[in-house]
Amino acid sequence: MSDEEKLSVYLNKSKLLSNVNYEKKIRIGILGSFTLNGLEETMRVKCDDKKTQCITYVSGYNQYNQEIFDEKSQLYKFSPDITFLIIDSRSILGELFFNPYSVSVGERKQFVQSKSEEIINLAKMLVKKSKSKLILSNFSVPSYSPIGINETREEFGLHDMIRDLNQNIKIGLKLEPEIYIYDLNSFVTKFGENNVFDYKQYFYGDVRISLEYIPYLAEELMGYVKAVLGLNKKCIVLDLDNTLWGGIVGEDGFEGIKLGDDPVGRAYAEFQHNLLALNQRGILLAINSKNNLDDAMQIIKEHPNMILREDNFVCTRINWNDKVVNMKEISDELNIGLDSMVFFDDDPINREYVKSNLPEIQTVDISDPSNYSKILKAMNDFHMLKITDEDTTRNKMYLEQRKRTELKTQVGDLQDFLKQLSISVKIKNADNFTIPRISQLTLKTNQFNLTTRRYQEEDIRKFSRDKGKIVECAQVQDKFGDNGITGVYVINKDNKQEWTIDTFLLSCRVIGRGVEDGMLYQIIEKARKEGVSKIRGEYIKTKKNKPAENFFPTFGFKKEGNFWVFDTKNNFKKPEHLVIS
């Protein structure tokens, strides 16, 4: 258990937390059917480590039913952003946990059905009465059975009851956008039932997740917190020798490296398989390696046991340059912040050098290749609340971006380059298909974001139903491919004469192609058609949104107090290089 601090460390740290006014804030509610001492303190410390202010509310012992049913409860007064509801198998089954065979098969099935409906309704009620996302734990299947080895012969036995309960809840809540199922059963499997459940602690204080394992539980739950706050990482940067394969290609040669065919080589192949799985759901991969380019590329292109190939890497720095310089270049080329990157390198000196010079990058400590996959899979930095089409095709989009960059270098003149791209901007309404991506962009976009207001899916869904608002997004395509939904704006229709731009953002992927001009043109045209005379907008400065600083003055908006105002009678030319529909 060396990879987590003891609970006592978190409890002591929580007492020392100062009330720092971080930019990111989150309110967390914790409800449980048993004692969860130390969970809220650990989560506050973990949030503080991520420069996030966390305020918590912990429900009274086994009070979750009353808290959810009572509209005037402390939970609703607290108004959490995320609520964790953790119920264990003993609580839900009651006496049947010990003696399920005292009733008939039919009665067991009826019991599971009614309990499933009860929990589904409870979960739906909580999100309906609050603005909170709900993370509901499923139920762990005990290794114990009152009928011992006959459990597997019994029709709808204890284990079947719990599995059915989990499946019913999963199906019943699958289409609820604000409810997520946390796999507590897998947590118990991963760490072992005999470790997670300590009888002495249970008898003394109704502790059903051992105090030693509370930090591990908190770390798993932080995966949801990071996803809600948009703190997830976008890119894994990898060294090559002794990181993606065993040995040093410059010394051991093509034949001599270890990859796939022996115990050491199998560890590297497994690591690559896990990296590929992340890559396929939208995590970018890049290389930062001190090596001869031709030697390294021969392995990547030709080695029969390579899992990751050239097209899996959106950016490569294989040279003898300084690794910190390479890191900055990768960040610039991909147009993502250093704080969106994770670095894997087997050399402790390289790691320390990157850590001390670029502390924003998450540098992972690795030594034994047999543990690389375990370390990667334990990381909760790559979770997304919903995997969108843009996520699954991200790698392809970045490879297409490389072709655009090559064309730009060849053409030289910006206007000629933009014309040759044949860019089309399709403006789409917020609907069930686009809302997850719109929310994702408001949570993640930092550079070209005029107000940096963060909106969850339920916020966007509510806005889209409001006749006093316009919520639209821009899908951008050109001759090299589809960039997907990369622009968003939210407009408040203040009155018949005036509109305010609440949110206006553009993904860093398409900055510099005039897409923002097309989006603004669309807003102004819409306002003119509705007889609106003024459009107001504000630029709220953050540490990262400098690229948007001069957006309004560039297009003829005049400063009035905190706002920039555009008179719709003024001329606004449609960008010639765009096709807008």
Q: Are 145 and 158 in contact (CB under 8 A)?
A: yes
Q: What is the mean pLDDT of each run of 10 residues along the chain (581 residues)?
A: 82 89 92 94 95 94 93 95 96 94 96 97 96 96 94 94 97 94 96 95 93 96 94 96 95 92 93 97 96 95 96 95 96 92 96 96 96 96 88 87 82 84 92 92 92 92 94 93 93 94 92 90 94 94 90 92 93 87 84
Beta strand 563-567 pairing with 534-537: antiparallel
Closest CA to 268 of 129, 366, 180, 363: 366
Say which amino acid occupies 199.
Y
* Residues 6+ away with beta carbon under 8 Å from 481: 396, 397, 400
Instruction: Give the pLDDT score at 416.
Output: 86
Sheet containing strand 24-32, strands side by side: 52-58, 24-32, 82-86, 133-137, 179-182
- This prediction has a pTM of 0.81
* Beta-bridge mates of residue 579: 424
Instruction: Give the pLDDT score at 1.
Output: 38
The CA-atom distances, in angstroms, between 576 and each of 287, 423, 555 are 38, 10, 15
Closest CA to 499 of 454, 572, 564, 555: 564
Instruction: With residue 528 as reference, give the H or E element that holds it.
Output: helix 515-529
Q: How many CB atoms lie within 10 A of CB 117?
A: 13
Burial label, 543 (beta-carbon count in 10 A; 0-12, 13-18, 19+)? exposed
The CA-atom distances, in angstroms, between 320 and each of 239, 324, 356, 498 are 12, 12, 20, 58
Return d(Cα 231, Cα 301) in angstroms, integer: 33
Beta strand 498-506 pairing with 448-449: antiparallel
Instruction: Give the pLDDT score at 2.
Output: 46
